[in-house]
Chains A and B, each alone.
Chain A
Amino acid sequence: MTEFLAKPLIDGNNFLQLLWFFVIALVFAIFLFLDGIDFGVGMATRVLAHNGDERALYMRAVGPHWDGNEVWLITGGGAMFASFPLWYASLFSGYYLLLFIVLVGLILRGVSFEFAAHAITDRERNVWQWANFAGSVIAPFGLGMMLTSVIQGVPMDAQGNVHAGFFDVVNLLSIVGGVAVVFFSFLHGLHFLSLKLDEATSERMLNTSKKTYWIAYPALVIFVILAFIFTDFYQRRTKSTLLITVVILAATICGHLAAYKKRGGFAFLASGVTLAGIIAFIFNGLFPNVMIATDPSKSLAVSTASSSQYTLEIMTIVLCCLLPIVLIYFSWSYFIQRKRLLTDNSPEAIKAALAE
C-alpha cells in the first residue's frame, strides 16, 4: 500500500498528490456551484425585485443555506493550505489586494443577512440589502478575475513569491473571466429562485434568464477565444481542454433551452454545471502545475508544492471519514427546506404555514 502511494503515476505525481489536486478542484467546483446560487440571488434582489419585501423574500430563500455554502470556500482554502502550502502561500500573497476586495465583498454580504433582518425602517433595511447586492457582485467578479489571471502565467521568483503588477491581474482575459462568472452566477441564482418561489415569480425568473443567456453567450465565447490566445491550455492539454469546453457550451445551451421550456430544475442543474465547468477548465489547464510562472522554470508544480506524504496520508484518512457525513447532513439541510416560499399575507396562509 505505502509503496503504491509513494509511486509516481502521472507526470511525476504520486497518487495522493493527484488525489488532493482533484479534491481541491472538486471543493472549489462545489463552492462555485453552491455559492453561485447566493451570489445570483443577491444580484436578483436589485435586478428583479420590486420592493424591499420582495428582496427580503429572495434573501430568505438562501437564508438557511448561504452560510453552509460559503464553508466550501473555507474548506477549499483550508485543504489547499494543508495539502499544497506553497501554492496557498504564493497564490494568496500574490493576489493580496484582489483577494482583499473579495473578502470585503464577502464580509458585506455575510453580515447583511442578519443585519437586514433586524432593520426596522425600509431605508435602514435598504442599506443592508444594498450591501448584500454589492457583496454578491464583487465577490464572484473578484474570484473570477483571480482564477483567470492565474492561468495566464504570473511573474514569480524562485522562492515562489508572486510579483503581480496591475496588468497581470487586470487584463482582458481576467475581466472577461470575472464577467462570465458574474453572469453565470446570476443565471444560477435565477434558476434557484424559480424553484423556491411561487409560480408567477418563478415565471419571471425564467423569462429574465432566457434574455440573460443571450448576453452570457458572447462572454463565454470571447472567454474561450481569449483563453486560446493567452494560455497554452489548448496546445498543452488539447483533448481534455476541448472536452471541457464542449461540456461547458453544451450545459449552457441546455440551460437556455430549459429556461425556454420553463423547466427550472434542469436549468438550475445546467447553469451549475457551467459554473463547475469553469473550475474544471482552469484546474485541468493548470495541471501538472499549480501556479504558472511567466518564466516556466519557476512554475510551481503539484509535485513540488505539496506537503509531505505523511500529512497527505493523514488528511486523506480524515477526508474519507468526514466528507460522507458532511455530504449527508448538508444535503439533508437542503431537503428539509425544499418547499416553495409563499408570499401571501392572508391570515389563512399564515396559519397554514404555521401548521407545518
Chain B
Amino acid sequence: MTTVFHFFFVPLSIGLAFTVTVMETLYVAKRKYIYKRMAQFWGKIFLLSFAVGVVTGIIQEFQFGMNWSNYSRFMGDIFGAPLAIEALLAFFMESTFIGVWMFTWNRFKPGVHVIFIWLTWLGSTVSAIWILAANSFMQNPVGFGINKKTGHAEMTNFAAVISNPQLWREFPHIATGALMLGGMVVVGMSAFGFMHKNADRAFFTRSIRVGAIIALIGSILVIITGDLQTLEIIKDQPMKFAATEGIYEDLKSPAPWMVVGFMNEGSHTAAGLEIPGMLSLLAFHKLYGGTIQGMNTLNQQFLGERGKIIKNGIEHPEISNYYVPANVLFWSFRFMAAVGFAVLILAICVLWFTRASKNTLADSRWKLWVLGVCTYLPFIGTTGGWLITELGRYPWIVYGLQTIADAVSPTATVTSLLITNIVYFLLFCLMGGVMIFYSRRVLHQGPEPDVEGSAQTATAGAHVGAHAANRKVALA
C-alpha cells in the first residue's frame, strides 16, 4: 500500500519537476515574463507533491527493515547498496537544491536560478535509477552468489547489478511515463483553470500547450519503451507476460490477442474476445515464428525445476504453485496501455484546439471537463504498471530466490501490522486529500498578476505562508 501511494507521487514529482524545468528554461531563453509566472505557479503544485512524496519515501525506506527483516537479512548485501547510493547521489541533490530553488527567486540571475531546478529534476530522475536498480534485481537477479555459510545472497559483480537489462528497460519506461504524467497533469489542471470565471486565458493557454507537448512526447516515448520492456519480459519473466495477456495454454504463431476477457484463476482457463494473429504482431512484431508459452506450461516447468515451495518443512498450500494473479495483471495491462494511447490522442487534440490561428478550447466547456477529468488518467496507468511489475513476480519477492512468505519480519505481529496499516491508510487519505484540496485552491487563486513588481512582492509574502495581503513579511 505504501508503495502504491508513494508511487502516485514519485512520477508526479519527477514529471512536474520536468515541466517546471522546461518552463523556467523557456523563461531564460525567451525572457518572457509569462514563463516565469508559469514556472512559479506550477512550481507550487510541484512542491506540494514533493512534500508528500518525500515523507512517503521515508516510510518506504524503513519499512524494508520493519516489515521485511528476513528479506533485508537475505538481500541487504545487494539491495542496501543502491539505496545508500540513491541517498548520497540523488536525494541530497534533490532536497538541497529544491530548498535553494524555492527561496532564491530574487537572489540569482534567471540563468543561474534555472540550474537549481534542473539539478532538482536530475536528482529525482537519478534517484529513480537507483531505486529501480534495486527493484530490477528483485525481478531479475544478476551479479550475485549465495553464501553457503550464512545462506544470504552476496554481491559479486556490482557492474552486473547496475547493468541489469531489466533496469535499462524499466527505467526509460518509468522516466518517460513520469514526463507524460507531469505534462498531462498540467493539461488537466489548466483545463480546470480555464473554467474559473476570472481565468487568465493567456496564461493557461501557454501552460496547456507546454503541458500537451510534454505529454505528447512522453506518451510516444512511453509506448516505445513499454514495447521494448515487454520484449525483455517475455524472455525473463514469461509468467508475467502470459498473465498480462491471459494465456493459459501455449499459443502457436500467429497467436490471437485477447482484447477483453476473464480468467478463471481456479480452473486456469480464460475466455474473451480475441483478434486473430494480433498477439504475435504485438509481441514479436511479426506474424510467424516464436511460440508463446501459457501459464499452465510455465507452472509445470517451474514445478519441475524448483519443486513445490517449502518452508520449515511445510508445503505452503497458497504458494504451492507459481501462478500469478492473472485477472489483476490482465486488466492492469489493458488500463496502462489504454492510458498511454489516450494521452497521446488527448495531447494532439489539445495542440490542435489551441493552435494560434483558431484557439477555441477555452470556450468549449465539455472539452475542458473531459481534459480536467483526465488529470487522473495517467495515475491509473502508472498504478497499473506498478501492479504488473510487483504482482507479476508472485510468489517471489526476489525472482527465483526468496518467496514473499519467507521475507516478512517474524517479529511483526498481526495486531501491530493492522494498527500501522490503518494509521498509514488514514494518513495517506489525509495527505492525498489535502494535497488535492490545496492544488485546487492554488488553481482557483490563479497565477500571480502580470505586473512584475507586485507579483514579486506577493511572492515574498507567500514564502512565509502569509497569502493574505495584510500579513506580508519582508524577508531578506
Contact = CB atoms under 8 A, between A and B. Distances in A.
- Whether both chains belong to one complex is answered with yes
Interface of A: 53, 56-57, 59-60, 63-65, 67-68, 70-71, 73-75, 77-86, 88-94, 96-97, 99-100, 103-104, 106-107, 110-111, 113-120, 125, 159-163, 307-308, 310-311, 314-315, 318-319, 322-323, 326, 329-330, 333, 336-337, 339-346, 349-350, 352-354, 356
Contacts of B457: 350, 354
Contacts, number: 282
Nearest to B44: A118
Nearest to A314: B158
Contact of A74 (B58, B97, B154, B420): B58
B472 A110 contact: no
A174 to B, nearest CB: 18
Contacts of A78: 61, 80, 83-88
A107 B107 contact: no
Given A96-B412, A314-B155, A71 B95 contact: yes
A350 B103 contact: no
A331 to B, nearest CB: 10
A77 B62 contact: yes
B65 interface: yes
Contact of A336 (B48, B107, B466): B107
Interface in B40-90: 44, 47-48, 50-52, 54-59, 61-62, 64-67, 69-70, 72-73, 75-81, 83-89
B147 interface: yes
Interface stretch (B187-195, B296-304, B383-391, B434-442): B434-442
Contact of B72 (A85, A114, A326): A85
Contacts of A84: 76
B234 interface: no
Contact of B466 (A53, A100, A115, A159): A53
B214 to A, nearest CB: 24
B163 to A, nearest CB: 14
Nearest to B108: A336
B72 A88 contact: yes
B474 A63 contact: no
9 contacts: A77-B87, A79-B80, A85-B80, A96-B411, A107-B55, A115-B51, A117-B463, A333-B99, A349-B476
Contact of B65 (A79, A93, A330, A356): A93
Contacts of B62: 77, 92, 99, 103
B266 interface: no
Contacts of B54: 67, 70, 110
A353 B473 CA distance: 10
Given A97-B416, A106-B58, A110-B54, A75 B476 contact: no
B92 A75 contact: yes
Interface string B406-430: 0001111000100110010001000
Given A93-B409, A310-B156, 15 more contacts: A64-B103, A67-B95, A74-B61, A75-B84, A78-B80, A81-B64, A91-B65, A103-B58, A107-B56, A114-B50, A117-B462, A118-B44, A118-B465, A318-B81, A353-B106
A337 B100 CA distance: 8
Q: Which of B48, B72, B75, B92 has the most CB of A within 10 A?
A: B92
Q: Which of A114, A336, A339 has the most CB of B within 10 A?
A: A114
B116 to A, nearest CB: 10
Given A60-B463, A350-B460, A354-B106, A322 B88 contact: yes
A147 B196 CA distance: 53
A114 B434 CA distance: 11
A336 B100 contact: yes
Contact of B472 (A103, A106, A350): A350
B344 to A, nearest CB: 32
B365 interface: no
A75 B419 CA distance: 27
A82 B81 contact: yes
A54 to B, nearest CB: 10
Enumerate the 4 nearest inter-chain pairs by beta-carbon distance, A residue then B residue, closest first: A85-B76, A92-B65, A82-B80, A81-B80
A106 B57 CA distance: 11
Nearest to B412: A96
Q: Is the interface of A mostly helix, strand, loop or mixed?
A: helix
B402 interface: no
Contacts of B156: 310
A163 B416 CA distance: 13
Contacts of A80: 80
Contact of A352 (B58, B471, B474): B474
Nearest to A340: B476
B104 interface: yes
Interface in B430-472: 431, 434, 438, 441-442, 456-457, 460, 462-468, 471-472
A115 B95 CA distance: 17
A3 B474 CA distance: 61
A107 B464 contact: no
Given A93-B66, A314-B81, A354-B456, A106 B92 contact: no
A114 B76 contact: no
A68 B92 contact: yes
A343 B460 CA distance: 12
A118 B72 CA distance: 39
B473 A56 contact: yes
Contacts of A319: 88
A100 B91 contact: no
B38 interface: no
Contacts of B56: 107
A326 B104 CA distance: 20
Given A326-B88, A336-B107, A60 B155 contact: no
B98 interface: yes
Given A78-B87, A354-B460, A326 B92 contact: yes
B26 interface: no
Contact of B55 (A94, A106, A159, A323): A106
B102 interface: yes
B77 A308 contact: yes
Given A53-B473, A65-B99, A99-B66, A353 B80 contact: no
Contacts of A161: 69, 409-411
Nearest to A315: B81
A18 to B, nearest CB: 18
